[in-house]
Homo-oligomer: A and B are copies of this chain.
Amino acid sequence: MHKVQLNPVGWMSQLSQSEMKSVTASHHPERYQLFRRCCLAVLNSGAETDDMHKLMSDNENFQIHLIRKERGVKIELENPPSQAFVDGKLITGVHEHLFSVMRDLLYMEDKYPQGVCQLTTPEKSNSGTQLATGQCTDLVFDMLRHANAISTNEDLNTIVCWGGHSIRPHEYQYTKEVGYQLGLREFNICTGCGPGAMKGPMKGAAIGHAKQRVSNGRYIGITEPSIIAAEPPNAIVNELIIMPDIEKRLEAFVRFAHGIIVFPGGAGTAEELLYILGVLLQAENHQQKIPLVLTGPQESESYFIELDSFIKATLGFKATQLYTIIIDDPKAVGQFFAKQHQDVKQARRNIGDSYGYNWSLQIPSAMQHPFVPSHENMAGLDLHLEQPIGDLAATLRCAFSGIVAGNIKAEAVQDIAQKGPYQLNGEPKLMNLLDKLLQAFVAQGRMKLPGTQYEPCYIIAQTHNE
């Protein structure tokens, strides 16, 4: 049996006796499994797989322990996967990622027990006590601050990049080129930290930063426990942050961003785009300035045409005004954000808001509350066009969120294996639009990493309302 002990870094290196006791106390088994799964994902950094089951079964003997020593807490790894080691020594970046996972999981458990109950017991979370709107926003801020991410986000140069983890080679290459153009203009990159469109911009930016002698370039990965295993942080991420759930992760993205890019992607990317549109469409946010670009290579043009028409048909023309589509021109993307930089700054000043965290952005409470993807919840989504745009965006966001879960999140996948695919019901017109978009995603191979046959986790049932 192979064992490795790791010295704590950062916050974990200075715990009080009572904190150590609480950290090393025997947690209930579900929490341990969550923790183990996240650590395994981190140790698996760089592996090109989104098949968590394989990852878990390949590493059945892997265990992780917290050991309380007089001078601090150590992490002990038992039978860790070898790929994170160089000549027997854990790669420093992975070492840091492990302690980032611990930092965030322990901190949220300790400080926000009510905010993270769904981490291990999803079925109860919708009915449990929930955080109020302001509390959510404070929690997201607190998690980012605790990870030391706020103080260095003052230059208004953080571009959040969204896009698929499973994209084609020429699309991946394109994300690198966009990242390179951003790096040349000294922007930092924040993504969901996985492969594909979450890795490419960071790689490109790293080269751009090197050319511009930017030595403190930031490659921020914001993830959440249920997705980290399927999208392990890539090698370049130098700040890893774990948010409690997908909704807080989305809130972190948009409050942290000084600009957002949407690359080609699948259901997850659609979820993200619907989220930011849902937010920006709120009347209270008309003063906000968050430049939003949809971009991809020439070959992906049809993807954006399809997405654009879906949005026009569902959320209306006004929604399409909130973004700019740039096809096959990485340099133009870089220049776009460079030109908007002053306006973003001015908007924050006008509102009197912080540069590091967009407090004044109003996010409807419905978009902050966790949506738990279950057969019941999915079937219950109120999918019809005759409702306020914001509500519609929020509801569609939930639909896509459920599909992402059904595709790659462990528990949802298991659930579907037992009970069959989710059923989505709604107004036929809307259901047709949705069906068309999803089928395009499937056809384009955007639902799963290549090499696997996609088995839809949902059924579009159009018979609703008749």
Contacts and interface: CB of A to CB of B under 8 A. Distances in A.
A16, A70, A94, most chain B CB atoms within 10 A: A16
B145 A92 contact: no
Contact of A353 (B70, B86, B212): B70
A61 interface: no
12 contacts: A16-B138, A17-B141, A18-B135, A69-B352, A70-B359, A86-B334, A93-B210, A93-B211, A206-B206, A206-B210, A210-B235, A213-B238
A137 B20 CA distance: 14
Contacts of A351: 70
Contacts of A360: 70
Contacts of A70: 351-354, 359-360
Given A185-B87, A211-B235, A335-B87, A17 B138 contact: yes
Given A91-B184, A93-B210, A96-B213, A17 B359 contact: yes
A316 interface: no
Given A91-B212, A151-B14, A185 B134 contact: no
State which size class the interface on A falls in.
35 or more
B212 A92 contact: yes
A61 to B, nearest CB: 24
Interface string A237-272: 010000000000000000000000000000000000
A321 interface: no
B71 A354 contact: yes
Interface in A63-117: 69-72, 86-87, 91-94, 96
A112 to B, nearest CB: 13
A440 interface: no
A442 interface: no
B71 A353 contact: yes
A150 interface: yes
A72, A210, A360, most chain B CB atoms within 10 A: A210
A281 interface: no
A430 interface: no
Nearest to A352: B70
B16 A142 contact: yes
A134 to B, nearest CB: 6
A326 interface: no
Given A17-B141, A71-B352, A71-B354, 15 more contacts: A14-B150, A17-B134, A17-B137, A17-B359, A18-B135, A19-B138, A70-B354, A70-B360, A86-B184, A91-B212, A92-B212, A92-B213, A96-B213, A203-B207, A206-B207
Q: Indicate how many identical chains form the complex.
A: 4
A338 interface: yes
Nearest to A339: B87
A215 interface: yes
Interface string A123-144: 0000000000011011001100
Given A70-B360, A210-B238, A352-B69, A141 B93 contact: no
A236 interface: yes
Nearest to A91: B211
Interface string A193-224: 00000000001001100111101000000000
A19 B236 CA distance: 34
Interface in A31-72: 69-72
A93 to B, nearest CB: 4
A150 B91 CA distance: 27
Contacts of A236: 207, 210
A16 B150 CA distance: 11
A195 B92 CA distance: 30
Q: Which 4 interchain pairs have the tightest Cβ spacing? A: A70-B352, A16-B138, A93-B211, A92-B213
Contact of A354 (B72, B135, B142, B207): B72
Contacts of A18: 134-135, 138
B16 A141 contact: yes
A215 B96 CA distance: 15
Given A70-B359, A185-B87, A354-B70, A93 B207 contact: no
A213 B352 contact: no
Contacts of A334: 86
Nearest to A95: B213
Interface in A330-371: 334-335, 338, 351-354, 359-360
A241 to B, nearest CB: 16
Contacts of A93: 210-213
